[in-house]
Structure 1
Amino acid sequence: MVAHALVSLAPRHGWQSCRPPSPQAADEQIQRTGGVSIPPTNTQAFSCIPPADTFASDVDVLVIGAGPTGLGAAKRLHQINDPSWMIVDSSDIPGGLASTDITPEGFLYDVGGHVIFSHYKYFDDCIDEALPNESDWYQHQRISYVRYKGQWVPYPFQNNISMLPKEDQVEALEGMIDAAMEARVANTKPKDFDEWIMRNVGEGIANQFMRPYNYKVWAVPTTKMQCQWLGERVAAPNLKLVTKNVVLNKAAGNWGPNATFRFPAEGGTGNIWINVAKTLPKEKCRFGDHGRVQAVDADNKRVLLGDGTTVNYQKLISTMAVDSLCEAMRNEELKEMTKGLFYSTTHVIGVGIRGSRPERIGDKCWLYFPEDNCPFYRATIFSNYSPNNQPQADKKLKTMQLADGSKPSSAEEKEGPYWSIMLEVSESSMKPVDNEKLLQDSIQGLVNTEMLQPG
Structure 2
Amino acid sequence: MCADINVDVLVIGAGPTGLGAAKRLHQLNGPSWLIIDSNEKAGGLASTDVTPEGFLYDVGGHVIFSHYKYFDDCIDEALPKEDDWYTHQRISYVRYKGLWVPYPFQNNISMLPKEDQVEALDGLIDASLEVRVANTKPKDFDEWIMRMTGAGIANMFMRPYNYKVWAVPTTKMQCQWLGERVAAPDVKNVVKNVVLNKVAGNWGPNATFRFPARDGTGGIWIAVANTLPDEKKRFGKKGEVTKVDATKKVVTLKDGTTIGYEKLISTMNVDQLVESMGNQELVTLSKGLFYSSTHVIGVGLRGARPERIGDKCWLYFPEDNCPFYRATIFSNYSPYNQPQADVKLPTIQIANGSKPTSTEPKEGPYWSIMLEVSQSSMKPVDEANLLKDCIQGLINTEMIKPEDEIVSTYHRKFDHGYPTPTLEREGVLKQLLPKLQDLDIYSRGRFGSWRYEVGNQDHSFMLGVEAADHIVNGAVELTLNYPDFVNTRQNTERRLDQGPLAAKRNGTSLPSRSK
Q: Which of 280, 288, 291 is matched with 2:228 structurally?
A: 280
| Partner Cα separation in structure 1 for residue 78 and residue 33 of structure 2 | 20
Structure with greater helix percent = 2
- Residue 8 of structure 1 corresponds to which residue in structure 2? none
- Residue 316 of structure 1 corresponds to which residue in structure 2? 264
Using the size of structure 1 for normalisation, the TM-score is 0.87
Q: Which of 49, 63, 73 is matched with 1:115 structurally?
A: 63
Answering whether residue 361 of structure 2 is matched by residue 413 of structure 1, we say yes
| Partner Cα separation in structure 2 for residue 364 and residue 314 of structure 1 | 49
Task: Kindly indicate whether the alpha-carbon contact (under 8 Å) linking 2:2 and 2:260 is maintained by their aligned counterparts in 1.
Answer: no
- Residue 349 of structure 1 corresponds to which residue in structure 2? 297
Answering whether residue 163 of structure 2 is matched by residue 208 of structure 1, we say no
- Residue 95 of structure 2 corresponds to which residue in structure 1? 147
What letter matches 1:401 in structure 2? Q
Q: Which of 408, 412, 428 is matched with 2:376 structurally?
A: 428
Shift of 1:189: 0.9
1:41-190 to 2 correspondences below 5 Å: 52-53=1-2, 56-190=4-138
What letter matches 1:69 in structure 2? T
What letter matches 2:121 in structure 1? L
- Residue 190 of structure 2 corresponds to which residue in structure 1? 242
Q: Provide, for residues 67-113 of structure 1, a one-character-per-residue CA deviation record: whole Å limited to 9, x for no partner.
A: 11111111121222212111110000000000000000000000000
Q: Quote the sequence identity (%).
A: 79
Q: Provide, for residues 256-305 of structure 1, a one-character-per-residue CA deviation record: whole Å limited to 9, x for no partner.
A: 10001110000000011111111112111111111111211111000012
- Residue 397 of structure 1 corresponds to which residue in structure 2? 345
- Residue 28 of structure 1 corresponds to which residue in structure 2? none
Secondary structure of the structure 2 residue equivalent to 1:388: coil
| Partner Cα separation in structure 2 for residue 120 and residue 379 of structure 1 | 28
Answering whether residue 396 of structure 2 is matched by residue 441 of structure 1, we say no
Structure 2 unaligned blocks of 5 or more: 404-515
- Residue 478 of structure 2 corresponds to which residue in structure 1? none
| Partner Cα separation in structure 1 for residue 196 and residue 339 of structure 2 | 44
- Residue 328 of structure 1 corresponds to which residue in structure 2? 276
Q: Which stretch of the first structure deviates more once superposed, 110-119 or 318-327?
A: 318-327
| Partner Cα separation in structure 1 for residue 363 and residue 140 of structure 2 | 52
- Residue 228 of structure 1 corresponds to which residue in structure 2? 176
| Partner Cα separation in structure 2 for residue 327 and residue 182 of structure 1 | 46
Secondary structure of the structure 2 residue equivalent to 1:147: strand
Shift of 1:337: 4.6
Secondary structure of the structure 2 residue equivalent to 1:73: helix
Shift of 1:333: 5.0
| Partner Cα separation in structure 2 for residue 334 and residue 156 of structure 1 | 40
Answering whether residue 140 of structure 2 is matched by residue 192 of structure 1, we say yes
Q: Which stretch of the first structure deviates more once superposed, 319-328 or 134-143?
A: 319-328
| Partner Cα separation in structure 1 for residue 312 and residue 83 of structure 2 | 22
Q: Provide, for residues 126-184 of structure 1, a one-character-per-residue CA deviation record: whole Å limited to 9, x for no partner.
A: 11111111100011010000000001000000010000001111111111111111111
Aligned residues: 403
Greater RCO, CA 8 A, separation 6+: 1
Secondary structure of the structure 2 residue equivalent to 1:387: coil
| Partner Cα separation in structure 1 for residue 137 and residue 228 of structure 2 | 44
- Residue 452 of structure 1 corresponds to which residue in structure 2? 400
| Partner Cα separation in structure 2 for residue 340 and residue 115 of structure 1 | 30
Secondary structure of the structure 1 residue equivalent to 2:210: strand
- Residue 302 of structure 1 corresponds to which residue in structure 2? 250
- Residue 383 of structure 1 corresponds to which residue in structure 2? 331
What letter matches 2:360 in structure 1? E
Secondary structure of the structure 1 residue equivalent to 2:36: strand
| Partner Cα separation in structure 2 for residue 177 and residue 127 of structure 1 | 45
Secondary structure of the structure 1 residue equivalent to 2:64: coil
Shift of 1:321: 1.1
| Partner Cα separation in structure 1 for residue 70 and residue 152 of structure 2 | 41
What letter matches 1:231 in structure 2? G
Answering whether residue 320 of structure 2 is matched by residue 363 of structure 1, we say no
Secondary structure of the structure 2 residue equivalent to 1:183: helix
Shift of 1:330: 3.1
Shift of 1:334: 4.1
RMSD over equivalenced CA pairs, Å? 1.2
| Partner Cα separation in structure 2 for residue 353 and residue 369 of structure 1 | 21
Structure 1 unaligned blocks of 5 or more: 1-51
Q: Provide, for residues 396-455 of structure 1, a one-character-per-residue CA deviation record: whole Å limited to 9, x for no partner.
A: 111111011111122211111100000000000000001111010000000000001123
Secondary structure of the structure 1 residue equivalent to 2:276: helix
Secondary structure of the structure 2 residue equivalent to 1:209: helix
What letter matches 1:304 in structure 2? T
